[in-house]
Structure 1
Amino acid sequence: MSIIEKALNKSRTAREQHKEGQGTATSAAPEVADAPLGSGESVGATSDPAPQPQLKAAAKAPPPVERSQQVEIDFAWLRKQGIIVPNERRSGLAEEFRMMKRPILDNAFGRSNAMRVPKGRLVMVTSSLPREGKTFTTVNLALSMAMEVDRTVLLVDADVARPAVPHTLGFQSDRGLMDVLTEPDIEIPDVLLRTSIPNLSVLPAGRPHGRSTELLASEAMMQILDELHDRYDDRIILFDSPPLLATSEPGVLAGHMGQIIMVVEAEHTPRTSLERAMEQLQHCDVVLTTLNKATRLPGLGGYGGYYSQGYGKGPYGE
């Protein structure tokens, strides 16, 4: 036998012995392979199998939260009050508010950043005294702005003591702004009302509260204003606020607005009252004044009830 044949035989013999050794070791292992799957037995275990944990009952899903309800605007009720009805024939009133809204929109959505008023999309409508027509002005202005092609309007009823926006539009409401400020579980989408008029939503005042002025001056209110302003770039937010000389709420709100619209009743508002009201707006850069219930002026196509508007940047509207 050659040297090569001897080496091959030696190698085969070594491999066969190694295989026999592996087989012996395998046969010596405990017989556990046939144990049923999941029986819980282990090698060398002498106690009963451990009990399986009970499955927890599935958690019950919370009830769905009703958000952004839709309300129908009563057009017949609008006509009865002499308020603009969208998509109806042209009228003198509609044309007046078309002229009135244009500088407000220009301040809010200037073609360049340099032309835009800071926070110009936050607009508060107020007056010196009650019954000068501020809610009438606010609602008509909101309806006119809602007819813009590429703008949306949020109408906020900030007259928390005597809310009038829902009644003026012909529907009822319960919860609103005051509830968001007092109830941790209520958020803006829970009380926001989408109307049957495209591009128009309403945030009601909510239930009255004894500390409404403090709530409107709170940090929570500042966060709400930031949320309303920053959420949509195409939205203008109109606040129907109380008269400046009747309560303290509008003075608190005014400091956070980009534009103020002062409604003045023609031949009725005392000059001293207007001056006292304007003193509360000294920190407001943009104040526009609207003369309401004025007699018709000639040269405007026969439109009646014409308003006059002043614009100013500084302590007072010029």
Structure 2
Amino acid sequence: MSSLIEQAAQRMEQLRQAGVDMPTSPPLASAVDAVKKSAIEAQSIPLSRYVEIDLDALSAVGIVSPTAPRSQIADQFRVIKRPLISNAMGKSASVIVNGNLIMVTSALPGEGKSFTAINLAMSIATELDNTVLLVDADVARPSVMKKLGLPDGQGLLDLVLDESTDMSSMLLKTNIDKLTILPSGTPHARATELLASDAMIRLLDEMARRYKDRIVVFDSPPLLLTTEARVLATHMGQVVVVVQAERTLQSEVRHALATIEACPVKLMLLNQARAVSKGVYGYGGYNYGYGADMSSGKSGYPQHQF
């Protein structure tokens, strides 16, 4: 296309030199300039990277896959995600500030929060009306990329350190049409402190407002190990706290919940539960109940579930 335009421009210049009266700024010449300008601008626009996720491998380890047949865990997350999506899209009884920012955390390490964050993001990616960004915000012990079988690279920490960097250049497009990933980024000695910085807060604000149909799922550090997860929670619309059944002490769960009182919506997930008890709904692997009234945010987690 560009060669045809250039040939036409050259022919017009030949006619002008031969004495043919030609307009000084012909439409075609303007088109040439426009093409050249667009090419220069296109080179300066950052492009997202692309990665292939092995969906069969994920299904084999119990992670929801959009291409897999209906499964028990997929059914569980269909129920889990529904109120979260409703809140995120402003369809709940009251409008939740930053409702599309969902933090998945736990009281302590090893309770299944990363596994839950990935499954939640995968399940949301099957929605017709929403896209999802999965952010590995557990910068001290990142695991999302490893669990997905993907190489580490630049990401969240790089964006916080250099606010001039366009977020699009750090995102990973995937073979799942509606799923994008933001890795934890280049390791940094003060990584956890960066999560509590003003630059991080500004980045969260950009994430919340950039796309109206996007839900952002954060795999966050545990609440009782560092204060950074608690700072993150104050900017989230919704927090999912994963609790491992028959392992986590009730006092630890209560302490963790006390650190995120400011968050308007808290959802409790009882991981690896063997039985369904009153107030909890589940299929065997996950049981779940609300740790907050969805409209008021008041604590209401039943003690007998632990």
- TM-score interval w.r.t. the shorter chain? 0.7 to 0.9
The equivalent position to 2:257 in structure 1, one of 269, 278, 290, is: 278
Distance 2:163 2:121 in 1: 29
Q: Residue 84 of structure 1 corresponds to which residue in structure 2?
A: 64
**Pairs within 5 Å for 1:207-222:** 207-222=186-201
Q: Residue 243 of structure 1 corresponds to which residue in structure 2?
A: 222
Normalized against structure 2, the TM-score is what? 0.78
Residues 107-127 of structure 1, C-alpha deviations (whole Å, 9 max, x = no match): 111337x53322110110000
Q: Kindly tell me: are residues 248 and 308 of structure 1, through their superposed partners in 2, closer, same or farther at Cα, counting changes over 3 Å? A: same
**Pairs within 5 Å for 1:171-182:** 171-182=150-161
3-state DSSP class of the match of 1:137? Answer: helix
Q: Kindly tell me: are residues 185 and 227 of structure 1, through their superposed partners in 2, closer, same or farther at Cα, counting changes over 3 Å? A: closer
Q: Residue 12 of structure 2 corresponds to which residue in structure 1?
A: none
Residues 69-115 of structure 1, C-alpha deviations (whole Å, 9 max, x = no match): 11111113202321111132111110000000011111111337x53
3-state DSSP class of the match of 1:215? Answer: helix
Distance 2:264 2:300 in 1: 9
**Structure 2 unaligned regions, length at least 5:** 1-39, 302-306
- 1:316 and 2:296 correspond: no
Q: Residue 115 of structure 1 corresponds to which residue in structure 2?
A: 94
- 1:69 and 2:49 correspond: yes
The runs of at least 4 aligned residues of structure 1 exceeding 4 Å deviation read 61-66
Report if aligned partners of 2:272, 2:284 keep a CA contact under 8 Å in 1.
no
Q: Kindly tell me: are residues 307 and 187 of structure 1, through their superposed partners in 2, closer, same or farther at Cα, counting changes over 3 Å? A: same
**CA drift at 1:191:** 0.8
**CA drift at 1:272:** 1.4
Residues 250-295 of structure 1, C-alpha deviations (whole Å, 9 max, x = no match): 1110110001111011111111111211121122221111111111
Report if aligned partners of 1:122, 1:259 keep a CA contact under 8 Å in 2.
yes
Normalized against structure 1, the TM-score is what? 0.75
**CA drift at 1:211:** 2.2
Count of aligned pairs between the two proteins:
256
Residues 142-171 of structure 1, C-alpha deviations (whole Å, 9 max, x = no match): 000000001000011000011111111121
Q: Which amino acid is 2:143 matched to?
A: A
Report if aligned partners of 1:255, 1:284 keep a CA contact under 8 Å in 2.
yes
Q: Which amino acid is 1:182 matched to?
A: L
3-state DSSP class of the match of 2:119? Answer: helix
Report if aligned partners of 1:75, 1:85 keep a CA contact under 8 Å in 2.
yes
Q: Residue 18 of structure 2 corresponds to which residue in structure 1?
A: none
Distance 2:262 2:104 in 1: 16
With 198-207 and 279-288 compared, the bigger mean Cα shift is at 279-288
- 1:95 and 2:95 correspond: no
**Structure 1 unaligned regions, length at least 5:** 1-60
Distance 1:85 1:209 in 2: 32
Distance 1:205 1:306 in 2: 27
Q: Residue 27 of structure 1 corresponds to which residue in structure 2?
A: none
Q: Residue 253 of structure 1 corresponds to which residue in structure 2?
A: 232
**CA drift at 1:66:** 5.1
Cα RMSD of the aligned pairs, angstroms, is 2.3
Distance 2:91 2:46 in 1: 38
Report if aligned partners of 1:283, 1:315 keep a CA contact under 8 Å in 2.
no
Q: Kindly tell me: are residues 283 and 111 of structure 1, through their superposed partners in 2, closer, same or farther at Cα, counting changes over 3 Å? A: closer
**CA drift at 1:218:** 2.0
Q: Kindly tell me: are residues 303 and 282 of structure 1, through their superposed partners in 2, closer, same or farther at Cα, counting changes over 3 Å? A: closer
Report if aligned partners of 2:49, 2:171 keep a CA contact under 8 Å in 1.
yes
- 1:233 and 2:212 correspond: yes
Distance 2:231 2:182 in 1: 19
Report if aligned partners of 1:296, 1:305 keep a CA contact under 8 Å in 2.
no
**CA drift at 1:315:** 5.2
3-state DSSP class of the match of 1:288? Answer: strand
With 120-129 and 184-193 compared, the bigger mean Cα shift is at 184-193
Which is greater in Rg? 1
Report if aligned partners of 1:69, 1:194 keep a CA contact under 8 Å in 2.
yes
Q: Residue 147 of structure 1 corresponds to which residue in structure 2?
A: 126
Report if aligned partners of 2:136, 2:184 keep a CA contact under 8 Å in 1.
yes
Q: Kindly tell me: are residues 179 and 304 of structure 1, through their superposed partners in 2, closer, same or farther at Cα, counting changes over 3 Å? A: same
